[in-house]
Structures are given as C-alpha cells and as structure tokens.
Amino acid sequence: MEHRSFRDEMARNRRSSLLLVIFVSVILFLLVYALVLLMTPDYLFIAMPLSMFLIVLYAWGSYRYGDGVVLSSTNARPAEGREYQYLRDTVEGLSVAAGIPPPKIYVIDTDEMNAFATGRDPEHASLAVTAGLMRELNRQELEGVVGHEISHIRNRDILFTTLVAVLVGLAAIVSYVILRTFWFGGGRRREERRGGGIELIILLIGLVLAIIAPIVTRLVQFATSRRREFLADASSAELTRYPEGLASALEKIMKGNQGKMDVSEAVSHLFFVDPKRSPLDALFDTHPPIQERIKRLRAM
C-alpha cells in the first residue's frame, strides 16, 4: 500500500510537472513573440515562425544541456580526489539501493549546507553538495541528504525541475530586454509600425508579463517544489532506513545556514533547502517549512 502511494504521488507529480512546463513555455513564447515584434516591426510576417523556432530550439537545448547550465551557474566542480572518496562511496551505495546508475558528483565551495540534483533522467544525472554540508554533517546526516537527492533522481523530478530552472532563467532575461527595449525606443517603433491590433495586444501582454515575471516565475517554482520535497524526504527515509539522520541534518541546516548562497533565483527550487532568502519568500517560499519536514520525518 505504501509503495502504491509513492507511485501515485510520483504520477501526480509528473502530470503537474508537464502542465507547469507547458505553462512556462507559453509565457516564454509570448515574451519572445513580444520581443521579436519590438525588434522587427517592419517584418511582422516572420515574428510567429521565428518565435516558434527560437522556443523549440531553446527547449531542445534545455533538455540536452540544461544540467550543464545549472552546474555552471552554481560554480559546481567535479568531486575528485581522496578527500571526496566517502562522498562518492555514499552516493554509489544509495544509488544501488535505489536501483539507478550512480550520478556524476560535484562540490560547491561554500560554507552553506545544501545540495541539489539535476539532469534529464537517471542515466544522465548529476548530484552536487556543498563543502559546508560535508564538513558539518555526520555520516548518517549526510546519507539522509544524499538519499533525498537520489530520490529526486529516482522519482524523475530532475528533468522538470531542470527545465523550469532554465526556462525561468530565460524568461527573466527576455523580460529585462523587453522592458529596456520598450522604454528606450520600442514604444516609438511600435507607433511607426503598420501592423494590426493583434500585434499591439501581444506587445501589451508581453509588457505586462515582463513586469510581473518575477512573481509569476516564483509561483511556478513554488508549485514545482513543495510536494516533491516531502516525497523525497519520505523516499530518503525508505532508502537509508533511518529517518532521524535526515531530520537531524535539517535541524543543523536550519540553525547554521544564513541563506546567502550566491546563486540565481531561477535555480533556487532545485536545492535541498532554499539557498537564498528574498523578500518574496514570505509569500512564495519554494520549499516547505523545515520544521514541518522534521515533524513528518520523526513521525515515521
């Protein structure tokens, strides 16, 4: 019954993930379309096909190389050398227990305690932990956190969370370009265009989306993360057979982290705990409360 519950929860996550990726893609298409209209007002006939081509090309690139973009944006480096042998052994052992190939392992040089997994499937996955996590946690606590990230890989959360990270990042960039173009010349070119009203509507939609993009993308990250974190916590407890290890790790992280990791907001939902506090967190925190996660683990 418990395994059926896990499978049902994973199926719901995948369905909701697909809908969220479609939602972000539609927003991104409208933003790109608005930008193309602003940049090429005299060639309206190419705006739609060019926008579609750019989105399809970017989506394919995100699927193939999104994990590399995420790893690069966090300054993760391969966990090589004898000092990381225990980490590699831990990842390999838990991967075998989960029935997946061991992911590539990376380290992020920061005193903050955190971790994340990325990739497109269990055969093409990567797992990164911070130097602070390895230094501050004991064996059972580290196994709990690694088990959580291995569970994300096994549950196939990583494809959708990685796609959301890359698409959200592009949406932020396009929004910024639209606002700059609109205020510094785009408005004038729009008035000089010979296009119809539908293009003006698209431009206005694009402008509105560009203004509210930070809140919209934060909502999407919020929707992709919370349920998955609870499921990955439960899956980690199942893998390690010791829920207290993960609960204790969360307590240390809650007390020790400052929430000041130098990472983009676009990738914050990938992490084990929120790596960076922001004013929007009070409304749209991408992670469930740590106290609630600890409570659930200790109730197992």
Tell me the catalytic residues: 149
Q: Which residues contact 128 (CB under 8 A, 6 or more apart)?
A: 71, 74, 76, 105, 106, 107, 108, 115, 116, 117, 118
Closest Cα partner for 268 from 203, 204, 222?
Answer: 222
Largest Cα span, the chain? 67
DSSP one-letter string for 13-51:
HHHHHHHHHHHHHHHHHHHHHHHHHHH-TT-GGGHHHHH
Q: Which residues contact 83 (CB under 8 A, 6 or more apart)?
A: none
Parallel/antiparallel/unpaired status of strands 125-130 and 115-119:
antiparallel
Closest Cα partner for 142 from 249, 242, 240?
Answer: 249
Q: 95 with 252: CB under 8 angstroms?
A: no
